A and B are shown apart, each in its own frame.
Chain A
Amino acid sequence: MESATATAPATGSIAHPDGERLMAPPDREARLVGWLCAGTGLALFAVMGLLGLTMRLTQAEVLGVSDEWFYRIMTLHGSGMLAGILLALMGGIWYVLKSVAELSFTRMLVSYAAMVLGAVVVLVSVVFGGFGAGWTFLSPLPFLPAEAWDTWAAAAYFIGLMLVGVSFLVFCIDVLTTLTRTYGGLSGALGVRFLRDRDDNPPPPQVIAATAVTAQGTLASAVGSTILIALLGKSIDSGVELDALWAKNLTYFFGHSYANLIIYLGAGMIYVLLPRYAGRQWKTTKPLAYGWLATLLLVTTAYGHHLYMDFVQPGAASVIATVSSSAAALPVAVVTVYTGVMLVWGSRYRWTLASVLIYLGFAGWTIGGVGAVIDSLIPINFRFHNTLWVPAHFHTYLMLGAVFWVMAFLVHMLERAAGRPASERVAKASVGAMVLGGYGLVGAWYASGALGVPRRYSVQPVDTEVYSAVASACVALFAVGFLLVLFEVGRLALAARGGAGRGSGAAAPPPIAGAAAAAGPAPARPALTSPLQIGTVVAIAVAASFALLPGISAATEGNVQMHHLAHAVQYLYGIALGIAFGSTPSIFRRLAPRWTGAAIAAGIIGSTAMLLAMVPAIYEPLQDDDVLHSLYHVGVVALGVITGFGAALLGPTTGKLLAVLSVGMGLMYAAGVTGG
């Protein structure tokens, strides 16, 4: 297969000779979003990384941080890292999607602002309120703090995380709506039509990746909102009782999905960035489309591995989680990483700081994935659960995978803007320090985990401090490498300000056919696209009001869960009316798509308010007055109408998804909130 001799890449250029034409030049909005998200994300990473080092030094008994502050720092580290890396890679995928889909700049800014605000509120709850229940906030720990924090701090933390969720949800809905409108609905954008040989011009790979991630992200956000709102409700009224197993399921579904989607967002971005250095296009193939369909399913069903040691969890859930967790490795190993290495192989790959980090990200993802699969096997988890093996594996694919890609993204933009690659000496030194330090850190953790050292201990078991000392030294080495990257980022930024790079008048070469298959969006369509669909939904509303509701209402006496179920059905009734009304051609024509932003807001506010309305402190004062009580239930229906109306304007895919998930939130709440 080899056709030529080994040769050194050309110097002086940033991209591969063929690479420049494989990526459409980002427009101003794409660049702005890129700078904002990658810059803010890396700044958060830097601060949270320092907090991580503080924890290691405390465990090594070098620093004397108190227990209170250790667990606050631990909570902040987990939440802040998640928000920062997620934000950076949301910006990354947006950057590579913008040239192939007309995404809304305004809504991306709203998403950015919500994430930053959420991070600030989390910071306040932890630093000033003392909240330290960990990012997993397993109920009822936030309400039994052993005098370490006040309830308001817990409430603030939940609001902060809800804002993070709102940020990601706005991003997901907007991206999913735009991509499905542009690429022939969900089946077109996911590549299903292509798989069925009904699409000769499949979407670019980053579109398929983004569609899968945003669809799953919408689901994860709905689940996350449900548990966070329920917890917020308990902060408002201590009479609210949450089932511990239910809370764990929802919390881990939310957290697992978000943490997973971070790396999958990164993969979608890499589909576009890597070809620039390899000079070979990352094409949409059938294995790629099958891989993302599998990923969409498997990310959804794998979360149960967090609950293996909850033996009361139904056994089938653990079996499904085991199979899914291992199977999730297949699309990574057989499609994305495999194709990435294939494209690099024999390409005269152009090694710059950005492209080295892209390549190393594959290694981190793969090695960390092996550690994850090992821990997802039940007999092994029986001996490794909540030991340091767990942070070892997820730091391998997040710190040495996703964060490498975030750095690569920022450096890529800067190298492009500056018109020159990063200094080779700095690149070698920084990457060398980060690889040695990073793998040293996770190596110390893997060893500690195998020895049974628990995670999340401010004071580690006797005689294991040495592992923390080694880990601390390794983190410090990683930090040196990271500072060198920042130093080079600064130099490249100065060069870019000098106007040396592209975008300052240099004409981009013509793109290779298919590299930027920008398609215009199809005309907007309502959620319900035919009279039959509208009729069906109205029939559901009628069924809810005449058949379902009376029976449930009769059972509500003395049964809180049935009472909440009655609320969910009233809400369903409202959603059915709203989506049917908003989908009628005359209404829809007048409002869509100018009101897309308002439609997203209606969906989020409607579902949030519906759950909050179930807090006893809100509805109990109204129950003694028949008129007010009736108005209250009319209000629940009205919230449904608002949600449904918003869903109608968001089109067939996102609209229906939003409507179903909103009702699902009510049903989930009814299943798990047992008091109040």
Chain B
Amino acid sequence: MGDALLDPSYDGFQIAVAVVFALIAVSLALFFAFAARQAGREMSLEAVTEAAYRARPLWLAFLAIVLGTIVCVTLFFTPYRPDTAAASATVKVVGGQFYWTMDPKSVPAGSDVIFEVTAADVNHGFGVYNPTGQLIGNVQAMPGYTNDLELSLDEPGTYLVSCLEFCGLKHHDMAAEFEVTEE
């Protein structure tokens, strides 16, 4: 899965997230290693406390601004409320133990597709992988409910649908293919 970084249908989103996380994690590890070295030294508690308490509001403000900004920005990019009127195709999806039915089973490339996803029995997860194996989105398939998932399918090829919610004995085998044909 996902070894085709140069393929145009692989947008590198997950890799970028993982790299950012790795940089933060390594920075934190280095900080804790540095602080551990400082732990062996002897300094007056008053001096340490004064410096730490002076820095704390700045640290709080920094974190609050960074996290607040990220949260606010991401809330503009949620997959909720798809524009069903603008969709060029609608695919009805039913997940069951341990199969997917999709109607229709293919759409032309460049389609803005609404997947109307529900479940026949238990909860399933409708995870869509593009032809290079990148997970491009997912939604839960729930008994009694229909979730509308909007995806822009620009690259022609065979897309893989895998179950992303544990659904029982053959959960790992619950997969199907979906075709995006040349325009």
Whether, in the assembled complex, B67 has its beta carbon less than 8 Å from a beta carbon of chain A, the answer is: yes
Asked if B74 and A318 make an inter-chain contact with CB atoms under 8 angstroms apart, the answer reads no
Contact with B along A225-259 (1 / 0, CB 8 A): 00000000000000000011100100000000000
Closest chain A CB from B167 CB (angstroms): 7
Query: Is the C-beta of A618 less than 8 angstroms from some C-beta in chain B?
Result: no
Within 8 A of B (CB), among A336-355: 338-339, 341-342, 344-349, 351
| CA distance in complex: A446, B63 (Å) | 23
Task: Tell me which of A106-114, A141-149, A261-269, A528-536 binds B.
Answer: A141-149
User: Is B104 interfacial (CB-CB < 8 Å)?
Assistant: no
How many angstroms between the C-alpha atoms of A385 and B77 in the bound complex? 16
Q: Are A148 and B80 in contact (CB under 8 A)?
A: no
Interfacial chain A residues near B125, Cβ < 8 Å: 309, 385-386
Q: Is the CB of A370 within 8 A of B21?
A: yes
List chain A residues, Cβ under 8 A from B156. Answer: none
Q: Is the CB of A138 within 8 A of B122?
A: yes
Interface assignment of A329: CB less than 8 Å from any CB of chain B: yes
Which residues of chain B are within 8 angstroms of A360 by Cβ–Cβ distance? 32
**Min C-beta distance of A514 to chain B, whole Å:** 14
Complex contact A67–B18 (CB within 8 A): no
Cβ–Cβ contact A144 & B25, under 8 A: no
Closest-CB distance, A353 to chain B (whole angstroms) = 15
Q: Please give, as numbers and ranges, the residues of chain A lying within 8 Å of B49 by CB-CB distance.
A: 342
Residue of B nearest to A348 (CB): B42
A513 interface hit (Cβ, 8 Å): no
Query: Are B38 and A345 in contact, CB atoms less than 8 angstroms apart?
Result: yes
B97 at the interface (CB under 8 A from A): yes
Q: Is the CB of B43 within 8 A of A447?
A: no
Give, as a whole number of angstroms, the nearest-CB distance from A548 to chain B: 29
Among B87-95, B105-113, B126-134, the stretch that binds chain A is B126-134
- Say whether A359 faces chain B, with CB atoms less than 8 Å apart: yes
**A383 touches which one: B133, B135, B167 (CB < 8 A)?**
B135
Contact B40 A1 (CB under 8 A): no
| A residues less than 8 Å from B60 (CB atoms) | 330, 334
A176 to B173, CA, bound (A): 47
Instruction: Tell me which of A118-126, A157-165, A371-379, A574-582 binds B.
Output: A371-379
Listed stretches A2-10, A412-420, A473-481; interface member: A2-10
CA distance A136 to B137 in the complex (A): 22
Beyond A6-B40, A309-B138, A334-B60, is A370–B25 a contact (Cβ under 8 Å)? yes
Given contact pairs A71-B169, A133-B168, A244-B144, A379 touches B77 in the complex (Cβ within 8 A): yes
Provide the residues of chain B in CB contact with A2, threshold 8 Å: 41, 43, 47
Residues of chain B within 8 A (CB-CB) of A374 are 17, 20-21
Chain B: minimal CB distance from A669 (Å):
18
User: How far is it, in angstroms, between the C-alpha of A169 and the C-alpha of B91 when the chains are bound?
Assistant: 47
- A363/B28 contact (C-beta < 8 A), A334-B56, A348-B41, A377-B71 known: yes
Residue total for A at the interface (Cβ-Cβ under 8 A): 92
- Give B81's nearest chain A residue, CB to CB: A315
- In the bound complex, residues from chain B placing their C-beta under 8 Å from that of A26 are none
- Supposing A6-B42, A144-B97, A464-B1 touch, asked if A383 and B13 sit within 8 A by C-beta, the answer is yes
Taking a contact as CB atoms under 8 Å apart, the answer to whether A3 and B79 are in contact is no
Q: Which residue of A lies closest to B165 (CB)?
A: A386
Binds B, one of A451-459, A500-508, A557-565, A636-644: A451-459
Residue of A378, A451, A457, A459 touching B14 (CB-CB under 8 A): A451
Which residue in B18, B79, B173 is a CB contact (below 8 Å) of A446? B18
Segment of A216-224, A320-328, A623-631 in the binding face: A320-328
Our pick among B38, B70, B139, B142 for the contact of A377 (Cβ within 8 Å) is B70
Q: A140-B121, A345-B48, A447-B18 are in contact. Are A385 and B164 (CB under 8 A)?
A: yes
Please state if A385 and B138 are interface contacts (CB–CB under 8 Å): yes
Task: Tell me the residues in window 3-29 of chain A with beta carbons closer than 8 Å to chain B beta carbons.
Answer: 3-9
- List residues of chain A with CB within 8 A of the CB of B122: 138, 140-141, 144
Chain B residues, CB < 8 A from A278: 39
Nearest-Cβ distance from residue B49 to partner chain A, whole angstroms: 7
Q: Which residue in chain A gives the minimum CB-CB distance to B36?
A: A359
Contacts of B50 in A (CB 8 A): 1
How many whole Å from A422's CB to the nearest CB in chain B? 18
For chain B, the count of residues having a C-beta within 8 Å of the partner chain is 84
Does A383 lie within 8 Å of B137, measured CB to CB?
yes
Complex contact A146–B14 (CB within 8 A)? no
Per-residue interface assignment for chain B, residues 61 to 75, with 1 indicating a CB less than 8 Å from any chain A CB and 0 otherwise: 001100110110011
Q: CB distance B77 to A457 under 8 Å?
A: no
Whether A386 contacts B138 by the Cβ 8 Å rule is yes
Q: Is the CB of B170 within 8 A of A244?
A: no
With a 10 A CB-CB cut-off, give which of B97, B145, B149, B165 has the most chain A CB atoms: B165
- Report chain B residues within 8 Å CB of A460: 172
B9 to chain A, nearest CB (A): 13
**Is there a chain B Cβ closer than 8 Å to A366's Cβ?**
yes
Cβ of B158 < 8 Å from any Cβ of A?
A: no
In the complex, the answer to whether B145 meets A244 with C-beta atoms within 8 Å is yes
| Interface presence of A68 (CB below 8 A) | yes
Name the residue on A nearest B35 (C-beta): A341
Closest residue to B119 on the A side, CB-wise? A244
- A363→B80 CA distance, assembly (Å): 35
| Known pairs A245-B145, A348-B40, A349-B40; A459 contacts B172 (CB<8 A) | yes
In the complex, whether A546 has a CB less than 8 A from a CB of chain B is no
- List residues of chain B with CB within 8 A of the CB of A146: 97-98, 168-170
With contacts A338-B56, A446-B18 taken as known, whether A454 is within 8 angstroms of B162 at the C-beta atoms is: yes
Task: Chain B residues near A456: list those with CB within 8 A.
Answer: 166, 171
Residue in chain B with minimal CB distance to A360? B32
Let me know if B157 is at the binding interface, CB within 8 A: no
Given A146-B97, A374-B17, A446-B21, A346 and B56 contact (CB-CB distance below 8 Å): no
A–B pairs, 20, beta carbons within 8 Å: A7-B42, A8-B40, A133-B166, A144-B168, A244-B143, A326-B67, A326-B68, A338-B56, A347-B42, A347-B48, A367-B25, A370-B24, A370-B28, A377-B70, A379-B79, A382-B138, A385-B125, A446-B22, A450-B15, A456-B166
What residues of chain B have their CB less than 8 Å away from a CB belonging to chain A?
1-3, 13-15, 17-18, 20-22, 24-25, 28-29, 32, 35-36, 38-45, 47-52, 56, 59-60, 63-64, 67-68, 70-71, 74-75, 77-81, 97-98, 121-123, 125, 127, 129, 133-140, 142-149, 162-173
A residues touching B (Cβ–Cβ < 8 Å)? 1-9, 67-68, 71, 132-134, 136, 138, 140-141, 144-146, 148, 243-245, 248, 278, 280, 287, 309-312, 315, 318-319, 322-323, 326-327, 329-330, 333-334, 338-339, 341-342, 344-349, 351, 359-360, 362-363, 366-367, 370-371, 373-374, 377-380, 382-387, 446-447, 449-454, 456-461, 463-464
Q: Besides the contacts A333-B63, A458-B172, what 6 more A-B pairs have beta carbons closer than 8 Å?
A: A244-B145, A312-B146, A341-B35, A344-B38, A383-B137, A463-B3
